[in-house]
Structure 1
Amino acid sequence: MYKGVMLSVLASFTFGVLYFYTEFLKPLDSEQTFAWRMLSTLPFLTVFMWWSGDLNRIAEIFQRVIKQPKMLLWLLCSSFLCTTQLWLFLWGPINGRGLEVSLGYFLLPLVMVLVGCLLYKEKLSTWQIAAIGLALLGVSHEIWRMGYMAWETAYIAVAYPLYFFLRRVFKTDHLGGFWWDLALVIPVAIYLAFMHSDSLSVIAHFPHLIWAVIGLGFLSCLGLGSYMLASRYLPFVIFGLLSYLEPVLLAFASMMLGERIAHDEWLTYVPIWLAVLLLVIEGSLHVIKQQQKQRTLVKNSQALALEIEKNQHK
């Protein structure tokens, strides 16, 4: 599980960087940015899978489609659920809807915890229950304050848990499944990049965009790949709770991009930040306990070895 936690934290930090990274992609609009993100991420992902020995996962899914053509319908559905989220992630900050998108990521962990408890019968610790209570307070206040739930918020909160749940059901919860999610949307990306708009002329006028797009592909591969692997290694509840780190970083990134938290919004964000703090404390205490257990085990082993040595001398 430690590996899954590290991957989840890495993904959250990478997503925080990506949210701010959109500034380097101007003057590309949200559709052009999405298109180049897909076109640049797939090669990096393919190289990483070749390096890690996971390329066989791609062929494995292809063979399943050949044997069960209906499997293609799930892959198309999976690609839609995944890539529309990726589009929304970039569309939000570019169009001044970053806080609505980040609120969706605030609500997302609650829905994922609910799925974990109801469908997988996973248990919560006292710290986790307290964190959920604080997060629920913050999210409820925001919905009450706005008087409605923005469509961006609702879509993120519902579509992602459905996506991760169905990935486990159809056994595509690995990098091979994610590779197909991206591969199936490449025709759309080509249309948006070269037919819907002339993004090549924009890149020609702003040469820095070449490096920006390459960086976008690398960061996307790093963040999304880590996120998908974390979803495989972690229980649904833990995976959901760790996702709280991401919206905190997205909110800060949104403020760095010029958006501001109003006075009546603090009761939304402070409880959620406190929830993240509780999870950090719980994680730190768990690491400390594990280290203490390891030290005790080493001491006991050393004491036993000395005792055996003494007995042999006798």
Structure 2
Amino acid sequence: MSTRTTGSGVAASITASVLFAVIFLLAGLLPGWGAEEILGWRIVLTLSMLGATFPFLATARAEWRALVTRVRRRPTLILLGVLATMLVGVQLWLFLWAPLNDMAMAVSFGYFLMPLTMVLAGRVFFADRLSNLRKLAVAAAALGVAHEAFSAGGLQWPTLLVCLGYPIYFVLRRKIGFDNLAAFSAELMLMLPAAVFFILSGPHGLGADDGGMLSGAGIPEGTWGVAAIGVLGGVSMATYLLASKWLPLSLFGLLGYVEPVLLVVVSWILGETLGWAALLTYGPILLALLFLSLDGRRRDPKLLVRALENAQ
């Protein structure tokens, strides 16, 4: 993998993390909107944006042709594609549901753990070797997880869903060769019927008291926020999936630490708090991420520096 490709992957990963944090904040500031309705609009608007740009991108057209050819040769890939769609659909829903239901911090903790579970996924599914520093990282993370589980009576289900679900999704996509934007747009197309149902049955849908989105009462409060989520959702997922394609799985997981830090900040803005006891949870997790960072610099101390320079 070339340094230029790695640099593009680093830039894409950081950009995606910032945009995800903005979406997380916007979702928490939309009273009266259900997570399912927001998800429906996000899918529709994201798919519309991709559909408007793909015909003009030679790379996207080539990816679509390759995807169709592979599916024709192996129709069973459709079933695996449906499974990938279900996995990412649940994650997209959870990301919008959590800030509306005081679960933003639980989801943030899941994203803190995800770089570690991605490292483990790379070891199990792609035979990535675990150096001593990576083993220390896993051990430190285990301490943080153990404290959280003990103090809270177990890890909350949103945390587990994020830190276990996303690695399965990315491993599956890479295994079946669906790690590109064409495959993601196909996943959105599979989710489109559910998206339309969520919109029509939501608080501002056909059964709404105000007559829906185009009623004489005007545009409901928060409409522009939902529209922004849809547009930013397309850009963020596109850059995130490109990063997953351009970067080694371990480096991709390491750069994932940017997003949970931003999500914790957003959770604080939305009113959730962290007590001093949280230091015993997040302290070991941050130490684990430090070990991963040192391991990356030890393996190729100039790689990340060159990548960041090329990304600028």
| Cα distance, 1:131–1:36 mapped onto 2, change above 3 Å | same
1:161 aligned partner, one-letter code: P
2:250 to 237, 241, 246: 237
Q: Which residue of 1 aligns with 2:71?
A: 65
Structure ranking higher in helix proportion: 1
Aligned 8 A contact 2:113 2:163 in 1? yes
User: 1:123, CA displacement in angstroms?
Assistant: 3.9
Moved more, 216-225 or 44-53: 44-53
| Cα distance, 1:148–1:15 mapped onto 2, change above 3 Å | same
Q: Deviations over 1:227-276 (max 9, x none)?
A: 11111111111111211221111111111100001232222123334555
| Mapped pair 1:118 → 2:124 | yes
2:258 aligned partner, one-letter code: L
Larger radius of gyration: 1
Aligned Cα RMSD in Å?
A: 2.8
* Structure 2 Cα separation of the partners of residues 11 and 275 of structure 1: 22
Aligned pairs (5 A) from 1:188-207: 188-195=194-201, 197-199=203-205, 201=211, 203-204=213-214, 205-207=218-220
1:154 to 160, 175, 187: 160
Aligned 8 A contact 1:117 1:237 in 2? no
Aligned pairs (5 A) from 1:147-226: 147-195=153-201, 197-199=203-205, 201=211, 203-204=213-214, 205-207=218-220, 209-226=222-239
Q: Which residue of 2 aligns with 1:298?
A: none
Question: What residue ranges of structure 1 are gaps of 5+ in the alignment?
Answer: 295-314
Q: Deviations over 1:106-131 (max 9, x none)?
A: 22221110111233232456765555
User: 1:190, CA displacement in angstroms?
Assistant: 0.2
* TM-score (normalizing by structure 1): 0.82
| Mapped pair 1:271 → 2:277 | no
Once the two structures are aligned, what percentage of the paired residues are identical? 35
Moved more, 72-81 or 193-202: 193-202
Q: Whose relative contact order is higher, 1 or 2, with alpha carbons under 8 Å and at least 6 apart? A: 2
* Structure 2 Cα separation of the partners of residues 170 and 289 of structure 1: 28
Secondary structure class of the residue paired with 1:25: coil
Aligned pairs (5 A) from 1:1-314: 1-53=6-58, 54-123=60-129, 131-195=137-201, 197-199=203-205, 201=211, 203-204=213-214, 205-207=218-220, 209-276=222-289, 286=301
Secondary structure class of the residue paired with 1:230: helix
Q: How many residues align?
A: 292
Aligned 8 A contact 2:33 2:203 in 1? no
User: 1:48, CA displacement in angstroms?
Assistant: 3.9
Aligned 8 A contact 1:16 1:250 in 2? yes
* Structure 1 Cα separation of the partners of residues 53 and 118 of structure 2: 28
Aligned 8 A contact 2:41 2:227 in 1? no
* Structure 2 Cα separation of the partners of residues 113 and 218 of structure 1: 31
* Structure 2 Cα separation of the partners of residues 281 and 199 of structure 1: 51
Q: Deviations over 1:170-192 (max 9, x none)?
A: 11111111111111000000001
Secondary structure class of the residue paired with 2:274: coil
Moved more, 195-204 or 278-287: 278-287
* Structure 2 Cα separation of the partners of residues 215 and 82 of structure 1: 20
| Cα distance, 1:282–1:47 mapped onto 2, change above 3 Å | farther
Q: Deviations over 1:44-95 (max 9, x none)?
A: 2233434442133234323433343322211211111111100001101111
